[in-house]
Amino acid sequence: ALSAQGTSAHASAYAVAEEAGDSSAGFEYEASRQASDISPLRVGEAAGRMAVENLGKKSIETATMDVVLHPLALASLLSIVTEELSGENLYKKRTPLAGKLGEQVASEELTLVDDGVLEKATRTWPFDAEGVPSRRTVLVERGVLKSFIFDRYWGKACGAESTGNASRGYSSEPRIAPRNLVVEAGSKPLSELISEVDEGMLVVDFMGTHTANIPSGDFSVVAYLPSYIKGGELKHPVKQAMISGNILDFIAKVDAVSREVKNLGRALLPYVRVRGVRVSA
C-alpha cells in the first residue's frame, strides 16, 4: 500500500470597515505546506486595508470595458476551465474543448499548467488518489490546448493515460480534479496593467461561477469588491457589477499578464487583463 505524510497551513481574515453609515468588507488568505510561510499579521493587515479601500462605493454605467482580474478572481474563472478540461466531460462530450487538442483556444498570453509536484503547494503529494505518480501537465501553452486531465477510469475510456488527477475523500469514489494550477507570469507589473486601461474595473473575486454551463462555457457572475478604473487610475469602489459571457471568448481576450503572482496554496496565479468585457451595472 502507498502512503505519504505532509502538513499544510492556512490563514484567512475577513474585515469590515465602517464610516459615516457606509460599510465595506475585505479579506485575505495565505496557504502553504509550512506554517513558517504564513504571517497572520500580514493577512490581517491586508484584509483591513482592503476593507478601508472599498469604502465609498459608487454606481457605474453598463458598458464594454477592460477588466483586470485579481488572482482570486482568475482562480474562480479557472474552475470553469478545469471542468471543461476534465476527461470525464471530454468522453461525455460535455465540453466545448472536445476535438480542439492542438488548436488555439485562448490568448497567446496564457500558459496554464497543472502541477502535482509544485513545491510547498497544498495539493502536492507523491501520487494521486489512485496511486498514479504526480506530474506536471501543460494544459494550455501560449493559448494552444495541449492536454486534458484524467484519472485511470476516464483516461482508459478516452484512450489516454492518467495524468495523476484522481482525487477523493475518505468516503467518496475517485473523481477528476486539478492539483495545483499555475498560470505562467508575464513581464508587466500590475501598475502597468492598470495604467494602460482607459476605462475598466479591477475585480478581486467572483460569485456564482458554480452556475456556469460547462457544455457551452456560458457563465454569469457577480463581481466581488470591484474598483473602477478611469484614465489609468483606480478611482473608486463599485456598488455592483455583473459579467456574463462565454469562458472561451473571455480567455481569448486576455492581453496582459502581470509579473506579480500570488500563492493561493492550491494555485500560483498572476493578475490578468481582459479587453472588451461587457459589464452590467
Residue 13: other Cβ atoms inside 10 A: 20
Residue 224 has pLDDT above 90, yes or no: yes
- What is the per-residue burial (b if ≥16 Cβ within 10 Å, else e) of 263-276? bbbbbbbbbbbbbe
**81 three-class SS:** helix
Instruction: Convert the pLDDT of each residue in 166-198 to its tens digit.
Output: 999 989 999 999 999 999 999 999 999 999 999
Q: HSE-up of 25 (CA within 13 Å, CB side)?
A: 9
- Listed by start position, the domains of the chain span 9-53, 57-125+134-148+178-281
User: Cell numbers 478540461 correspond to what residue?
Assistant: 85
Q: Which residues pair with 44 in a beta bridge?
A: none
- What is the per-residue burial (b if ≥16 Cβ within 10 Å, else e) of 193-221? bbebbebbbbbbbbeebeebebeebbbeb
* Confidence at residue 72, expressed as pLDDT on a 0 to 100 scale: 96
Residue 1 has pLDDT above 90, yes or no: no
Instruction: Convert the pLDDT of each residue in 14-67 to its tens digit.
Output: 999 999 999 999 999 999 999 999 999 999 999 999 999 999 999 999 999 999
Provide the residue type at 103 as one letter.
Answer: E
First-to-last CA distance in the chain?
Answer: 55
* Confidence at residue 263, expressed as pLDDT on a 0 to 100 scale: 92
Gap between the Cα atoms of 29 and 72, Å rounded = 10
Provide the residue type at 130 as one letter.
Answer: E
Apex CA 256: angle with CA 255 and CA 260, to 5°? 160
DSSP string across 88-106: HHHHTT-STTTT-TTSB-S
Residue 123: other Cβ atoms inside 10 A: 21
* Confidence at residue 109, expressed as pLDDT on a 0 to 100 scale: 98
Q: Give the H or E element holding residue 152.
A: helix 152-157
Question: CA torsion angle for 206, 207, 208, 212 (degrees, to 10)?
Answer: 10
* Confidence at residue 83, expressed as pLDDT on a 0 to 100 scale: 98
Residues 217, 80: contact at Cβ < 8 Å?
yes
Mean pLDDT of the chain: 97
User: Cell numbers 509550512 correspond to what residue?
Assistant: 34
Apex CA 58: angle with CA 55 and CA 63, to 5°? 135
Gap between the Cα atoms of 59 and 199, Å rounded = 14
